[in-house]
Structures are given as C-alpha cells and as structure tokens.
Amino acid sequence: MKDQADKLREVINNLRNIQMKPNQTVENAPQAKKCRVITVTSAKGGVGKTNISVNLALNLSKMGYRVVILDADFGLANIDVLFGISPKYTLLDVIENNKNIFEVIMEGPLNVKFISGGSGVEKMAHLDKRELQDVIDKIASLDQIADVVIVDTGAGISDSVISFVMAADEVILVTTPEPTSIMDSYALIKTVCRRDKNKIIRLLINRAESERESFSVINKLCFAAEKFLGFKLHKLGYILYDTTVINAVKQQEPFVIRYPKSLVTKQLSEVAYRLMDVEQQRANNFLGLKGFLKRLMNV
C-alpha cells in the first residue's frame, strides 16, 4: 500500500507529464503555474488568527483549490491542535535530518495539507548558500501540488513576523474591535509601510459584535493608514462573534466542519470567495513558494 509521501510524489510526476509535450525537454518546457502565498498575521495574540487560517484553508479547499498551510508560529504552533493531528516531523527535519518535504507534510481534513514549521525557518537563516538553495528547492516542490499556501505567523511585530509579512504575495491582517488590537494593528501597518508602501494588506475584523461595529473599525483603520501613512488598506470583510467557534476549538475540530450551517461558517465562506475573486487574482502574477522563500531569506 502506498504511503502519503509516495502518493504526493505520484501527483507531481503526473503533473509534469501533463505539462510536457512530445517535442519538449525539461529545459524548454513552459513555466509551471506558481502558487499564491498568503500570510495570515495579527499584531496582537488571541484575536483568532490561527482559527481563521485553518477554516479559511478548508473553505478554499471546498471551492476546489489545493491548499497547504505552513505553521510559522515558532512559539505557539497550534495548527495541529485545531486539526486534532500530531505531526511526526517538522520543517526542521527537512533541514537537519534529510527528510523530503513529502515526508513532513501532513494530510488534514478536506484534503488540506499542513506543515509544522517548528524552528525550521529560523534554522534556514543560518545555512550557507548551497545548503539554503537545497532546502529551498525541496520545499518549492509544493508549488506543483498547491494553488494556495497559507502561512500562519506568530502574533506581534517581531522581526520574524515582519519577515513573513514582507515576503508574501499578500497579507491578511486579523484584528478585533478591541482598542488594543486596533492600535497594535496600526503599529504593524506602520512598520510594513516604512519598508514597502505597495504591500497588499487585506483587513479582516474578527469577533465583532455587529456589522456596524465591524465597518466602524475597518473605516477607522483605513482612514488612519491613508491619512497619516499614505498607505491603502484593502477591505476583506468581517466575522461576527459566534460561540460555535469556542465549542469547535474545545472539540479540536474546525468550525467549518463541525458547524457547517453556522453564521461564522457562512461569513468566512463569503470572505474566501471575496479573497479569490480579488482583481481576478491579480492576473496570477504570484511569486510561488520558491520566490517567497528566497524573498524571506533576503528580508
């Protein structure tokens, strides 16, 4: 019986065979489509960022997209907790124990795959050029089996979080209506703006009490960013407070699966459709995972 790694290798081989024409070689074959790398972050802990990452990934999978989550929260990695799955290996095993990426990747619900980063990405920063290129090539194989890679970062505005933000094609910034969360989010936006005023940040309000409260927070942040920083924030949407989210976490099952008819599931589904329809996905002009990793190391 084939194990998970064998199945993933077979998928890649099949994709390569489909892309190659009889008169083509590897060198002159057309460039493969690159995946879309989206960093999901928050400037403050406890705003539901990881829950958004997991359930957004599931929604995208239900829409027909191939999704991989990279858990890049070094201190409090908990994608596996929300899935109720314990990973055998992390990205660190690719670097230190010569594992290939298909041995490290885990299969979650609804065909969503995830990788526990552990301290792997931090370790990459200390590799020499040849070792780093080897690791990047291994991880970049995921470009062939994913349409979207969601990078779930830690919370705050530490150097590691900002690095992931700057390296991604785009960013989803999760905040709540709490004043401290709003102020911290503004601080993160200000930090990003100093480095790149063209960075795409999509604002998502979580745990709002009402639609009115959501729009109030969105408008305040967008106004402040544009007036004081000359930076344009993109409005992605909002998620209202729903007790089913807490219940799902306790049951270690994503709310999209546990409560498919809940309000929060419906609202996140709308967010997912809005995300994938944004500017016709920017004409598919994505860096891909390899480009993301190279930019991350440069940052």
Q: What is the DSSP string of 31-72?
A: PPPPPEEEEEEESSTTSSHHHHHHHHHHHHHHTT--EEEEEE
C-alpha–C-alpha distance, residues 116 and 86, integer Å? 10
| 47 part of a folded domain | yes
| 24 part of a folded domain | no
Kindly report the pTM of this predicted structure: 0.86
Average pLDDT over residues 188-202: 96
Beta bridge partners of 107: 113
pLDDT in tens, 136-188: 888 888 888 999 999 999 899 988 899 899 999 899 999 999 999 999 999 99
Average pLDDT over residues 116-145: 78
| 269 part of a folded domain | yes
Residue predicted with more confidence, 133 or 20: 133
| 189 part of a folded domain | yes
The tokens describing 10, both together, are: 């077979």
C-alpha–C-alpha distance, residues 136 and 15, integer Å? 20
The type of residue at 280 is: Q
| 21 part of a folded domain | no
Instruction: Tell me: pLDDT of 90 over 70.
Output: yes
Residue predicted with more confidence, 120 or 280: 120
Output the pLDDT for position 54.
96
Question: What is the domain extent for residue 239?
Answer: 36-298
| 9 part of a folded domain | no
Contact (CB, 8 A) for 37 and 149: yes
Residue 59: closest CA among 243, 204, 218, 199: 204
Structural domain total, the chain: 1
| 1 part of a folded domain | no
| 7 part of a folded domain | no
CATH number at residue 120: 3.40.50.300
Identify the band that residue 59 occupies on the pLDDT scale cut at 50, 70 and 90.
very high
